[in-house]
Amino acid sequence: MIWDRLLRNLHLVTLAEPGGGWGMVRDAAIAIRDGQIAWLGPAAELPHQNARHTTDLQEAWVTPGLIDCHTHLIFAGSRVEEFERRLEGVSYAEIAARGGGIMATVRATRDASLETLVETGRERLRNLMREGVTTVEIKSGYGLETATELRMLRAARELGRELPVSVITTFLALHALPPEFADDRRAYVELVAGEMLERALAEGLVDMVDAFLEGIAFTAEEVGRLFRAARGQGLPLRLHADQLEDGDGAALAASFGALSADHLEYTSEAGVRAMAEAGTVAVLLPGAFYTLRETRRPPVDCFRRLGVPMAVATDANPGSSPLLSPLTALNMACILFGLRPVEAVRGMTVNAARALGLASDRGSLETGKRADLAVWRIAHPAELCCWLGADPLELLFIEGEPVVPPARRLVPSRPAPLRPSLRPASRAARRPPRGR
C-alpha cells in the first residue's frame, strides 16, 4: 500500500496514553493516507517507505494540532476603554451593569457587515493557527437578535470554508439580556429557545449550544429552557459556569449531560462530583482569570482527584480575555492554575477534543485519526508551556496536507488594510497627486 505522505526524522508526542502522559516516541515516523494517520511509531519499525511525498522534519517534535475549544472570535469594535476602566478599579460586573462590557460589543457587532466580521475574524484565526491551532470553536452571542446572531454564525462557517482549519460553531444567544427585553426577560429566552435557535438550525449554522449562567447573565431556569429545546434537537451542550460566583453551574451542566462546563473558578466539590459522574469536561480559561485579575482559582486538585478531564482554551474575546495566543493560555494554565505542562497540552488536544465531542477522530496521534499535526522546533514538549513569545511552530498538517503557518498580524481588531497614514509609503502613494 502506497502512502500519500511519509513524515520522517521526527519525535512524536502522541498524547494517546490512557494514563495521561506525553506518549513520547523519539526517532519516529508518521505515514498518512486519505487525510488520516495510517501508521506511526519508531522509524526503525516502519513497514515500508513507499509514499507519494516524503518529508524530512529534521528532528522536530510533532504533536496533534491544537484545539481551541472555547472562543468568541467573531465580533466587531474595540473594548480598550473598558480595559482602562478596569485598571482604574471598576469591575467587569459594574461595567456590564452600566451597559458596557458584552453590550458594547453587541452594539458594534449589530452594525457590522458579514464581510467585516469575516475579515476581522480571519485575522484573529490566523493568529491562532500561527501557534498550532487546527480546530477552533467559535461562539455567537454578540448579536442577541436573530439577524446578528445568524450573521455571526455565517461568518464563522465562512472562515471554516476559507481556511483549512476546522471550525465548530456554538449558538450562545443567552450571553446577555439585550436592552430591548429589559422588562421582559422571559420573552427573550422564549425567542432564543424558539425562533432564533430554529432559524439558525435550519440554516445549518449550529454545532452546539452554550449559555452564560451567572448573576450578571441568566438563571438556571432560563438556561434550562434553552437546554431542553436544544437537547430536543439532539444538540450537544456547553455552559459558562461559576466564573464570578458559585451559581451551581457545574451541577446544572452535568444534569443536562453537557460536554463541558467552562470557567469554573467558584465550582464546589459537589459540582465537580456531578461533572465526574456525567463525564463533563472542565474547560479552564486562564486568559479571563488573568485579565479580570481574579484571585479564586478553579478547583484543579479536585478535578484531578475525582477524575474530571481538564481542557484549556483561550476564551479569545474583546473584553474578559483579549488573548489570541493558545501557547500563552498553556503557560497561564501552568503558572496561574498549577497545571503540569503535560496536563496543559492534553488540555488543548485530547481533552479539548472531548469538550467538542470530537475525541473519536482527533486530539491525539493514533492510527485512524485525522492527520492534523503541529510541527514544533523545540527540545522537549514542555517548552510549549514554558516560553512566552517564542514562536516555535514550524509547520502544520491539516488532514495530511501541509499548511504554512500564517504570518502574525498586529492589529486584529479592525479590517485590513491599516489606515493609509500608518502604511509604509508605497510607490503609488508617493506618486504626486494628479492635477484636478
Q: Give the binding site for ligand DI6 (CB under 6 A).
A: 72, 101-102, 105, 175, 212, 240, 243, 288, 315, 317-321
Task: Determine how many CB atoms are found less than 10 A away from the CB of residue 110.
Answer: 17
Nearest approach, Cβ of residue 237 and ligand DI6 (Å): 15
Q: CB 60 → Fe ion: shortest distance, Å?
A: 33
Please say which residue, 82 or 315, places its beta carbon nearer to Fe ion. Answer: 315
Pick what 124 binds: Fe ion, ligand DI6, none; C-beta below 5 to 8 Å, kind-dependent: none
Please, which residue, 222 or 372, has the CB nearer to ligand DI6?
222
Burial 173-194 (b: 16+ CB within 10 A, else e): bbbbbbeebeeeeeebbbbbbe
- Does residue number 265 form part of the binding site for Fe ion (CB under 5 A)? no
By beta-carbon proximity to Fe ion, the closer residue of 205 and 264 is 264
Residues 143/75, Cβ–Cβ less than 8 Å:
no
Dist. CA 79–CA 366, nearest whole Å: 42
Question: Is residue 249 within 8 Å of residue 228, measured between CB atoms?
Answer: no
Within the chain, what is the greatest distance between any pair of CA atoms? 76
> How many whole angstroms separate alpha carbon 198 and alpha carbon 100?
29
Compute the least distance from the CB of residue 67 to ligand DI6, in Å: 18
Q: Which residue number, 248 or 315, has a Cβ lying nearer to Fe ion?
A: 315
Query: Within 13 A of 21's CA, how many CA atoms are on the CB side?
Result: 6
Pick from Fe ion, ligand DI6, none: which does 102 bind, CB < 5 to 8 A by kind? ligand DI6
Residue 389, phi then psi, degrees to nearest 5: 70, 20
Nearby residues of 14 by Cβ (< 8 Å), 6 or more positions away: 22, 23, 24, 25, 40, 364, 365, 366
From the list Fe ion, ligand DI6, none, pick the one residue 321 interacts with, judged by a Cβ distance below 5 to 8 Å according to partner type: ligand DI6
Give the residues across from 42 on adjacent strands. Answer: 28
**Least gap, CB of 90 to ligand DI6 (angstroms):** 14
Angle separating helix axes 102-110 and 146-162, nearest 10 degrees: 80
DSSP 131: T
Q: Which does 135 bind (CB under 5 to 8 A by kind): ligand DI6, Fe ion, none?
A: none
Which CB, 207 or 315, lies closer to Fe ion? Answer: 315
Nearest CB to Fe ion, comparing residues 356 and 403: 356
Instruction: Name the residue nearer to Fe ion (CB basis): 140 or 364.
Output: 140
306-325 residues near Fe ion, rule: CB under 5 A: 315
- How many residues lie near Fe ion (CB under 5 A)? 1
Taking CB within 5 to 8 Å according to partner kind, which of Fe ion, ligand DI6, none is near residue 151? Answer: none
Closest approach of Cβ 141 to Fe ion, in Å?
8
* Shortest distance, position 227 Cβ to Fe ion, whole Å: 17
CB neighbour class for 44 (10 Å; exposed up to 12, middle 13-18, buried from 19) = exposed
109 makes contact, choosing from ligand DI6, Fe ion, none, with CB < 5 to 8 Å by partner type, with none
Contact 309, 351 (CB under 8 A): yes
Name the closest residue to ligand DI6 (Cβ).
Answer: 319
Tell me how far the alpha carbon of residue 415 is from its chain's centroid: 21
Nearer to ligand DI6, 100 or 381 (CB): 100
Q: How far is the CB of 413 from ligand DI6 (least distance, A)?
A: 13
**Minimum Å distance from CB 312 to ligand DI6?**
14
Site residues for Fe ion per CB under 5 A: 315
